[in-house]
Structure 1
Amino acid sequence: MGCTANRSPIRAPLSLIRRWRARLMPVLALLLALGLCSQPAAAALTNNTYDGNIYALYAGNGSLVPPRASLAQTLEEHRPALLVFYLDDDAGSKQFSPVVSELQRLWGNSVELIPLVTDPLQNRGDGGARDPAHYWHGRVPQVVVLDGDGQVLLDAEGQVAIERINDAVSTATGIPLPEGFKTSGTMSFNELNTEVVSR
């Protein structure tokens, strides 16, 4: 004859269930609220909102800032300098950021590329030729190319054509630009990033 075991289901005490429910409900409510209230990121090339480092976000090149050397150090070493004045919350600067990234690719070993956010330059006196404020006109983006002696070869505002910048840097460095890089255009590879390509 077999032995029948009394099999009753194991049940947690009702008080334990109520305690866990009391602890989990606020957490679940918070997660639900965050899910319903969160909005997608609104980064865009065409607006004047702050989205973060424009070179990392829009040019895919966060290595541009901070610059490797200051203007004063560059001039002391008689190296050509390429100054780019910008703001992270300026649509024009965002749209120009792929050009700056391409300039680093083309000239990074031959010229000191110095992207400078202009917030620290505002309402500041001119400290002479070794001070970036000396060259900034109050608009962004602005590009200034200096040769090794500190002479200005290009000073232009707005969406400066990369060809103009390349010509000035070529003059400053004495290095001719290869034929394949004489003309360029832009290619967008997603909704945020654009790349400058040679034609």
Structure 2
Amino acid sequence: MLSRPVSRPAPFRLIGLLTGVVLSLALVLLPAGPAQAGRDTDSYDGNVFALYAGNGSLVPPANDLGTALADHRVTLLAFYLDDSAASKAFAPVLSELQRLWGRSVELIILPTDPLGSASAADAADPARYWSGLVPQVVVFDRTGTVLFDQSGRVPLQAINAALAEAVGDAPDGALLAPSTSASFNEVNSDLITAP
């Protein structure tokens, strides 16, 4: 006697097929929700430079602080936190600094998470310069002397002035027109320099 494969009755097959079609259509036709990243929130959204400045090349830095100071390079050391609204809003400023000064200044932009609350005695250790607030910008001249150290939403013009003092000459467009932040989508913004 031959056995036949057991099959489901026709109504159950039809219900299963219709369920599959409805679920497939729902996945394709339902609109996706808006982006959940928020520039004005203290939530973790990912790399602040890729998301809010359109520039993921700022981190990790090409060199460490010890190397930059040993090579007698003018250095901008900046501290940020990925889940800080202030750091998210400040990301376009650091991106603009890279555009203006990237060829003449060593940019070292570091997250504060690995620093903890440890203070360091070594001049080459970034933890020595971190004040505990973000964002923070520190500018060193060629001798390793700190020329500028400010926390918060530091104006681009103030940082440009400190870098110009350290380098001796400012690149075109760096001095010292006021700039404003303009949003070009729901997440990213850019700096616009007034004429």
What TM-score do you get using the length of structure 2 for normalisation? 0.83
Q: Percent identity?
A: 48
Pick the aligned partner of 1:190 from 178, 182, 185: 185
2:94 pairs with 1:111: no
Higher gyration radius (CA): 1
**Structure-1 residue corresponding to 2:4:** none
Pick the aligned partner of 1:101 from 65, 71, 95: 95
How large is the Cα RMSD of the aligned pairs? 3.0
Work out the CA distance in 2 between the residues paired with 1:111 and 1:28: 58
- For the structure 1 residues 16 and 112, does the alpha-carbon distance in structure 2 shift closer, same or farther, using more than 3 Å as the test? farther
1:40-189 alignment, distance < 5 Å: 40-178=34-172, 181-186=175-180, 187-189=182-184
- Give the drift of 1:197: 2.2
- Give the drift of 1:17: 9.8
Work out the CA distance in 1 between the residues paired with 2:11 and 2:99: 62
Give the secondary-structure state (helix, strand or coil) at the position aligned to 1:88: coil
* Residue identity matched to 1:130: A
Task: State whether residues 184 and 196 of structure 1, in contact with CA within 8 Å, keep that contact through their aligned partners in structure 2.
Answer: no
Stretches of structure 2 that go unaligned for 5 or more consecutive residues are 1-6
Work out the CA distance in 1 between the residues paired with 2:193 and 2:172: 11
What TM-score do you get using the length of structure 1 for normalisation? 0.81
- For the structure 1 residues 16 and 89, does the alpha-carbon distance in structure 2 shift closer, same or farther, using more than 3 Å as the test? same
Question: What per-residue deviation string (whole Å, max 9, x for no partner) do you get for residues 95-130 of structure 1?
Answer: 000000000000000001111100000132414110
* Residue identity matched to 2:37: A
* Residue identity matched to 1:99: V
Q: How many pairs were matched up?
A: 187
- Give the drift of 1:189: 1.6
